[in-house]
Amino acid sequence: MKKTLFILLTILSVISCDTSKKATANAKPQVQYKDDFKSASEKERTALLKKLKATGSNYSVLILTQNYKGEQVIISNEKKTLYKEYPISNKKTGIADQTRIDNTIDTKVYDNLTKKEATISSKEAKKHKYIYLMKQPGAENPFLITYSNTLRPLE
């Protein structure tokens, strides 16, 4: 009887440990909303939107910011892969890269180094023209998503 109870408790503890690991692996990225930083000029905003072909209301601009060190980042939606590069953050500007996303469908960002993913929901993306994605080394989910309608200076 004692032996059976010991085995049962051992199995239950293994199962509970396994569940907690899965919960950590699926940790949600931090999200914030911010428009109170220095704004880029109208000329810079227009040039960026034209360059990325993101002038339409169905597009938002995803800007990779700090702590990218050359690891592969894959940005995709249910239709296609939008970006598959090895961005490196510029220490002076704090910007690694930028790309256009379709804000009518969810966008997934996958970091091949940490094997973590962040989802940019279409519900939030539709409300914001600029979405900043910063990496936070050591966090459960290394991404910090900042939704904004203000383009900060990129150079």
The answer to whether residue 13 scores a pLDDT higher than 60 is no
Domains of the chain, residue spans: 28-148
The answer to whether residue 35 scores a pLDDT higher than 90 is no
The answer to whether residue 79 scores a pLDDT higher than 90 is yes
pLDDT grade, residue 1 (50/70/90)?
A: low
pLDDT at 63: 97
pLDDT digits 0-9 by tens, 113-148: 999 999 999 999 999 999 999 999 888 888 999 999
User: Span 10-35, mean pLDDT?
Assistant: 58
Instruction: Name the residue type at position 67.
Output: N
